[in-house]
Structure formats: structure tokens, C-alpha cells
Amino acid sequence: MSKIKNNLYFKIGGIVLIALLLLIPTGMIKSIIYEREQTQRVAIEEVSEKWGGEQTLQGPVLTIPYTRYAKEIDKASGKETLVQITERLHILPSKLNVQASVKPDRRHRGVYEIVVYNSTLHVSGEFNKLDFKDSESKGHTFKFNEASLNAGIDDLRGIEKQINLNWDGTNMPFNPGVSNKDIFYSGINSQVKISPADDHIYRFSFDIELKGSQQLYFTPVGKETDIVLNSDWQTPKFDGAFLPDQHKTDKTGFKAHWNVLNLNRNYPQTWTGSSYRLKDSSFGVDLKLPVDNYQKAHRSIHYALLFIGLTFLVFFFIEIFQSSGIHPIQYILVGIALVVFYTLLLSISEHIRFNYAFILSALATVALISMYVRAILGSLKMSLFIAGLLSMLYIFIFVIIQLEDLALLIGSIGVFIILGLVMYFSRKIDWYGISQNKDAA
């Protein structure tokens, strides 16, 4: 039994086994992080349901119904008859301008923080002279008295006030819903006056006060679309089909400008029916919070095995160089303390900023393990050495999780340096000699 206990390879195998077994509670903590993330999403959805969800302004689009005749063959008799079919012509504006101002706010549901906003949108533009001669020559009969202007809005609960349309100098209210489901499933519409004899440009404008959560997008329906968006939010994420041509972000907020041409998107200025999806070309800004505590906790726990492995390796070297005996139970207790760090980090970060939570959790873990080492080895020097080593490791991980883009590079370099140090300090160890001495003992 004594030979087994002192056998070098048995010792190494036991340490490796303990380290691998500690991955089980580590995996359980990962599941807890995922569960808390899901709970956060539910909280966001609950707030969004009452306030207003992610918003995308689509359009406006001018829709004119028309009738045409098509030949139809009766299957029973084989006779050919003419059938009247009603379809809709959709026309996009030649120019679209949007001036948007967004005022974000933070709401809390329990320990979770959600970003909502109030926005003010001034939408204006024009339709070029409409030419229906080609269509009328094909037998199309347009119902100009049923023409409507439709604008898609994802969540109508976000509309704050009545929206009035200024169409060619005439004011008229928007109605709830859309006049058809060819393009939008949710939105507003207004009947407009169209005359085929008119030889001028139709100009329009309207203002919207719109509430939403986290995201505000637009669709470039104009032949030339010009959108200016400003806010006092300091951490915007510009996303979607197009990035802004110009943007400025500082401590006072951000201002972004998009200019999109019809050549940049994959649908024409006019079409019939439901041939195209405008939302695929949407773009705008996400007002989501910077990398939150759950994402950072996920990233930090990826290094759990590195922490456990390096700490156990140092303990093993202490056994070799100091001729001290460390029991497997003591390895297990130290490993559990390293794992409990992540539960501390997760729970504390739900109440204070992640960086502060990380520092508090790391200090508590370093203090616990260093005092335990002081007790089992009876050496203040070794206790301070372990405290310094763990502190350096936690600082290393802290730096990595702050650097999103450079995390892989810095992490790889750091691991390479650690491996080099381990190889350097173990270069003169006579492993065969140690093994024989242990066996002889």
C-alpha cells in the first residue's frame, strides 16, 4: 500500500483524475449560467410586451389596386373564358428621408437590466410622376380611389400619438393596420388621392413617436434613402444589411448617417403582389448593453481547466522540491475552491458590475486557498507564493475577457508563456530518479 501511495505515476494519475472530475461541477455551473441567461431573455420579453418590442420601420409604400382579365380554361367543358383578376401595384418612393432621435432608458425586472427607448421619427420623401400608360395599354384598370400609403411597424403598441400624413399638401390621419398583406403584416395605412392626369411629384411627410426595446431598424425603400439617427446612448452597435456611411460616438452619445441607393438592394421600385421582402434589407442600431455578465462569465469559465491544472501542477512541484506530502483530499478541496469562484462570480455580478464582482470573487478565492496552504504546509513563504501565482492567473483571465477581439491572441500567448515557465522550472528534475526513490521508500 505504501508503494502505491508513493508511486510517482500513481500520484500523477490521481491528480489528473481529480482535475477531470472537477470538470463535472464546472459543467453544472455552465448550465446555471445558461439558465440565468434564459431567465434574462424572458424578463426582456416581458418588459418588451408591455413597452414595445424591437422596431423596424418599413416603407412607406404606395399601393394601387387594379383589375385585369386573364384567360381560363374550364377543365370539364374545355371552354376558354375571360376571368377578372384583382391585383395590387406597389410603388416605392423616389426619395426617402428619415430624421430620427432616440432617447434610451434602462428598466429593471428583478436583477435584470433591459434597454428601452422613446424615439421621434420625421419621415419625408416623394414619388416621381406616376406613369400608368403602359399598364393601361395592357388592359389594366386602376382603382385610383382605393390607393393607399402603407408603412410597416413591427409592434404597434409602441406608437405614442396619432400619426397624421401630409400627402401633397393635404393632411389626413393614418389608420391602424395595413391595407393588404403583400409586404407588411403589421403597420399603418392612409387612403391617398392619386390621379393619372397629374403631372407633378407627390410629396409626403409624417412624424412618429415610437417606443421600442433595444433595436431600431429602417428599410431603404427610396430610390435614394437618406437616414440620420442620433442618440445619447454611448455604446451603439450598428448592424443589419448596411453600415452607416458616417458615424461619430463619444461620451455625449452617437450620430450616424446612412445613404442607400436602389442599386444597393435586391428589389425594384415597382412590382405586383408579394414578390419581395423589404425587411431583408433593413439596418439600424442595437442599443443592447455592452458584453453583459453572463457572456463574460461564459468566457471566464472556459479557463477553469487551465486554473485547476496549473494550481495542481504547482502543488505537485511543491511536493517534489519541498519533499512535502499533499493528500488527494487536499487537492480536491483546493479544486472545489477554484470551482466555487465561478458561482461567486455569477451570483455577485447579478447585483454589481461584473469587473467588481470578478475582483471580489478572486480576492476571496485567493485568500481562502492561500490560508489553506499556510495551514497544510506550515509555510508562509509557500502561502504567499500560491497567493501571488493565483493572483497573476486571475489578472490574466480578467484581461482576456475584457479584450473581445484580441482574446484568442492574448490567451494563446499567455498559455505559451506559462508552458515555457513550466518547462524551464522542471528541466532539471530527474523523473526516473524520483520514481525509483519513491518506489524504494
From CA 369, how far away is CA 386, in angstroms rounded?
A: 8
Residue 357 vs residue 425, higher pLDDT: 357
From CA 206, how far away is CA 163, in angstroms rounded?
A: 7
8 A C-beta contact, residue 58 and residue 326: no
Average pLDDT, integer, range 389-411: 76
pTM attached to this predicted model: 0.69
Instruction: Give me the residues paired with residue 127 across strands.
Output: 202
Torsion of CA 27, 31, 34, 38, to 10 degrees: 170
Note the pLDDT tens digit of each residue in 234-268: 888 888 889 898 888 888 888 999 999 988 888 88
Cβ partners under 8 Å of residue 333, min gap 6: 372
Domain boundaries, the chain: 2-39+294-440, 54-289
Tell me what percent of the residues of the chain surpass a pLDDT of 90: 12
What cell does 322 get?
A: 519541498
Note the pLDDT tens digit of each residue in 302-351: 778 877 887 877 777 777 766 667 777 888 888 888 888 888 888 888 78
